[in-house]
Amino acid sequence: MVDCLMNNKTTYSSIIKQEAKRLGFDFCGISKAEFLEEEAPRLEKWLSENKHGKMEYMENHFDKRLNPTLLVDDAKSVVSLLYNYFPEQQQNPSSPKISKYAYGLDYHDVINDKLKEFLFTLKEKIGDINGRAFVDSAPVLDKAWAKKSGLGWIGKNSNLINKQQGSFFFIAELIIDLDLEYDGAIKDYCGTCTKCIDACPTSAIVEPYVVDGSKCISYFTIELKEAIPNDFKDKMDNWMFGCDVCQDVCPWNSFSEFHQEPKFNNTTGFLNFNTADWYQLNEEVFSTVFKGSAVKRTKYSGLKRNIEFIKPKL
């Protein structure tokens, strides 16, 4: 009976990893669905020190963020997945900058479609499975689960870093009520490097492994709905949506490989916009070039605010 159960775990885990590869996920790891004891005090301290800024939603569902069994009844396993978004295309270097993850279609839509197919296929091949799929859209500590499943370590910039290909990945999860073979965590390979800390334009990485979200350029340009504090007027490094600085300088991203997802390619041409094009941006052009894009999250008014804020004084 024990051997049969072990064989099932091995077989099911193999099916899951094969399906992940078929669907285009670059890495797949599996961990036991259990309370995240190490993360609990860190999250509590981070919130108590207001490092989440105006992101009040981070205060919600504290228990669910730490315990996957509160998200899926009888959850047994967390399947963590990485999907590469490192682009071969490059933005006009002199124009206001947009984070690489937003060059193409919104990753939520692209990856959610894959996750739905993933769950459907697993139910066909394994049987009745109760589970939910997540991609940066629910109270799930995705980086913690990816670390726990051996897909990488959490770097000093608080990003998950994969030893083979760096950190330009979207992270997704399936939380399911199926016992599987679990992968173990790997060691931290940041060593004595502090490139991300030294390069952060707003000094948001306040100490190794701790990012003050309320000082982060991504927070200012995406999450913050009110005026950007004037204290950061000359510290935005020309970013108008997101920021890639701490990833761009990370030595592990020298191993990044170009993604193979056509939906992440920029097809609307905004990567070729020059500075004048951005300064003259109107709502009609915004709606056209960012149709289906994650940039729509900041809305036209938000992006115009960002562009005006980083615009040099004449």
For residue 156, report the phi and psi dihedrals to the nearest 5 degrees: -65, -15
Residues with Cβ within 8 Å of residue 206, at least 6 apart in sequence:
212, 215
Give the CA diameter of the chain: 77
Element at 118 (helix H, strand E): helix 107-125
**CA–CA distance, 284 with 288 (Å, rounded to integer):** 6
Query: Cα dist. 261→17, 23, 33, 68, 102 in Å?
Result: 19, 11, 30, 29, 13
Element at 9 (helix H, strand E): helix 2-22
Q: Give the catalytic positions in this structure.
A: 136
Residues with Cβ within 8 Å of residue 28, at least 6 apart in sequence:
16, 17, 20, 21, 79, 80, 81, 82, 151
Length of the chain: 314
